[in-house]
Amino acid sequence: MQQKELNWKLRGEGTASTGLPLPERISLLQSETGLSAITLRVCVLRGLDSSQAIQDYLSPKFENLKSPFTLKDMDAAVARIVQAKENGEFVRIYGDYDVDGTTGAALLSWIFRDLQMHYDARQPDRFKDGYGLNPGAVAEASRDGVRVLVTVDCGISSFPAAELAKESGIDLIVLDHHQLDPQKGIPIAQAVVNPQRPDCESGLKQLCGCGLAFYFAMALRARGRERGWFVSCAEPNLKQHLDLVVMATAADMVPLTGDNHILVKYGLEVLKYSKKPGVKALMEAAGLGAKDLSPSHLGFVIGPRINASGRMVSASLALELLTTTDVARATELATILERLNEERADVQNKIWDEVRLRIEKGIQDGKYRHGIAVADPGWHEGVVGIVASRVTETFRKPAAVIALREDFGKGSVRSYGGKDVLAALRQCSSFLLGFGGHKHAAGLSVGLDQVDSFAEMFDRVLEEMPSERHAGSLYIEGNCDIEDLNVRTLQELEKLGPFGPGNPEPVFALKAAVKSHRILKGRHLKLNLGPKKALGSASGAESGMYADKATGVMDADKASSVIDAGKASSVMEAIWFHGAERAEVFGNAVSGEEQEWAGVPELNRFRGQMTPTLRVRDWRKIGSSKE
């Protein structure tokens, strides 16, 4: 599979407060902070160009979070829950079925439990109900005697359900962060707390659904203090629930800036030592201990396991896992999610292989010039979103992947190059039964007789949409040598994470030859990168018992005595996900000749050891003109 080449671009330096050239700024900051030049380059390129700015970023203050009452309708939402608690009314939490909705529903469940409220929590079934609050769920709530319905990570587009709630005498509170329909506005409700509202001046548009639930919990606790709730009972400890917030914030790909930066910094530490039986069991089942946990595990390990519940069977399994106080039940549920995640991966890979071949043939036939839309009755609708993301990464175009049922199709859409896929779906609405989401990711339903017409219209609409100026570019922090990427430097880089929107992961370029390679699961490449010349003997700490010359593995407990030397092995492990699927790789990249590699340096932790590893993003021949 031949991919379109990425353009490698050096990340811009911006304007520094010191006015010094970049090398001099870095040298000055090294003397002030003691951090490595590699780490400081990343800091400066993100606008952290003073020792105080770096310190503030690495050690944000929790008290700097904005007041939850700056959110529009927060007062009304809290007032209604205060009334429900004091009158003993039945409250139902209704969260979406993804990581964000599941963790948000779990967070409110813990809070309502601590407040000794009369409540329960439900979620839609992806396969029976579809996304969001539906009229059937409202009718069920009415039959169950629910007086207040609180949605988390959904509800902003649930207009029929909101109407039914009003007719049924149920007070609806919407906690959602998704974009509003520009024509319909907000649904009828007791309160609609959504930072995307044009009349909300909170400056908290970056929050995910679980993050919004956390702010609601802060506001509710504040009102409880005022009303003397905690004179005779313990006040809820909100910080202990930041483990849920950090999972959701990382999984939902919201900007990791502003208040989100504070939440994830504290949340990672809470997650490492979480007291929730379900969270501990989840990490143990995945083989993660507190010492092994790194920011990258949020997206690659934890998030997929929670999502596997809603993708393969029912999100209620994950919700029960995250809220149970029973250790044995937590272990049982974590084992089930581990199995479901393995099944999900197998199904996903099978569909991806079919999708990839179909798109490659379509491109050869002149199709998919600006956008990709593919559909099949054999595809599992629980994983089409993951496959759509893989399509955009591989073919670098917006994509819709649709699973066809007997009567209609359900699909997921992902953006590329900054194109607004939600706006694109609005222009294709005459061919759709329904759609929703946001600029970067959306969902749709389509009649079987309209699939081809939608695909053609989707391609035409995207042709007219502007791309971001640097779409198809891979931003590089700078060049480095393998020896620069030692354990200490990578530990420093980790502290700048988690990485994601608004805080892009650092990509460095280095020159190396493939010393050996191995294909994993028929898709991925495990590489050893090093100099083309024969390896010489190591010296100093590198040749001692703390580091292995061939692997660069450092003992976590003894690394500090090694890293002072500032050197790592001259051979580095690398992992290239889906690299084996690229036809040009075997003839060129793994030829043994020295090449240029672009990748994300990170630490691989296993059984107390830390191994510097490069997660490959791209490669090119030396002298290639991709810049």
Domain locations along the chain: 71-245, 367-464, 474-621
Structure confidence at residue 181 (pLDDT): 85
167-181, 207-221, 320-334, 600-614: range with lowest mean pLDDT = 600-614
As a whole number, mean pLDDT of residues 365-384 equals: 95
Of 20, 38, 15, give the one whose Cα is nearest residue 600: 38
Structure confidence at residue 535 (pLDDT): 42
Would you state the torsion angle of the CA atoms of residues 14, 18, 19, 22, taken in this order, to the nearest 10 degrees?
Answer: -60
Structure confidence at residue 568 (pLDDT): 55
CA 266, CA 250: separation in Å to the nearest integer? 13
**198, 182 in Cβ contact below 8 A?**
no
As a whole number, mean pLDDT of residues 410-418 equals: 93
Of 538, 519, 515, give the one whose Cα is nearest residue 528: 515
8-17, 231-240, 499-508: range with lowest mean pLDDT = 8-17
Pick the CATH number of 367-464 from 1.10.1060.10, 3.40.228.10, 3.20.170.30, 3.10.310.30: 3.10.310.30
Per-residue pLDDT reduced to its tens digit, 458-491: 999 999 998 777 777 899 999 999 999 999 999 9
Contacts 24+ apart (CB under 8 A), 517-520: 517/590, 519/580, 520/580
Is a pLDDT exceeding 60 seen at residue 124? yes
CATH 3.40.640.10 fits 474-621, yes or no: no
As a whole number, mean pLDDT of residues 53-81 equals: 96
Per-residue pLDDT reduced to its tens digit, 511-559: 999 999 999 988 899 999 998 764 443 333 333 333 333 333 333 333 3
29-33, 64-68, 559-563, 573-577: range with lowest mean pLDDT = 559-563
Average pLDDT, the chain: 89
From the CA atom positions of the chain, what is the Rg in Å? 25
Structure confidence at residue 418 (pLDDT): 86
Structure confidence at residue 183 (pLDDT): 87
Environment class of 274 (CB within 10 Å of its CB; exposed 0-12, middle 13-18, buried 19+): buried
Beta-carbon count within 10 A of 15 CB = 8
As a whole number, mean pLDDT of residues 70-87 equals: 98
Is a pLDDT exceeding 70 seen at residue 396? yes
CA 308, CA 339: separation in Å to the nearest integer? 9
For the chain, percent of residues with pLDDT exceeding 90: 72
As a whole number, mean pLDDT of residues 433-461 equals: 93
Using pLDDT thresholds of 50, 70 and 90, give the confidence band for residue 241: very high
Greatest mean pLDDT among 108-122, 406-420, 533-547, 561-575 lies in 108-122
CA 404, CA 402: separation in Å to the nearest integer? 6
Using pLDDT thresholds of 50, 70 and 90, give the confidence band for residue 130: confident
Using pLDDT thresholds of 50, 70 and 90, give the confidence band for residue 15: very low
Structure confidence at residue 543 (pLDDT): 31
According to CATH, the topology of domain 71-245 is: inorganic pyrophosphatase (n-terminal core) (3.90.1640)
β-pair type (148-152, 91-95): parallel
Of 534, 547, 527, give the one whose Cα is nearest residue 483: 547
pTM (two decimals): 0.86
**567, 605 in Cβ contact below 8 A?**
no
> What pairs with residue 365 in β-bridges?
none
324 Cβ neighbours under 8 A, 6+ residues apart:
277, 278, 330, 333
- Spell out where 415-507 has E strands: 434-437, 441-447, 473-476, 478-479
Structure confidence at residue 563 (pLDDT): 36
- The structure tokens listed for 558 are 């003894």
Structure confidence at residue 532 (pLDDT): 77
**439, 420 in Cβ contact below 8 A?**
yes
Structure confidence at residue 277 (pLDDT): 98
> What pairs with residue 373 in β-bridges?
400
Domains 71-245 and 367-464 are alike in CATH topology: no
Beta-carbon count within 10 A of 393 CB = 14
Structure confidence at residue 423 (pLDDT): 93
- The structure tokens listed for 435 are 């759609």
Structure confidence at residue 474 (pLDDT): 92
Using pLDDT thresholds of 50, 70 and 90, give the confidence band for residue 300: confident
- The structure tokens listed for 14 are 């911006």
CA 49, CA 43: separation in Å to the nearest integer? 7
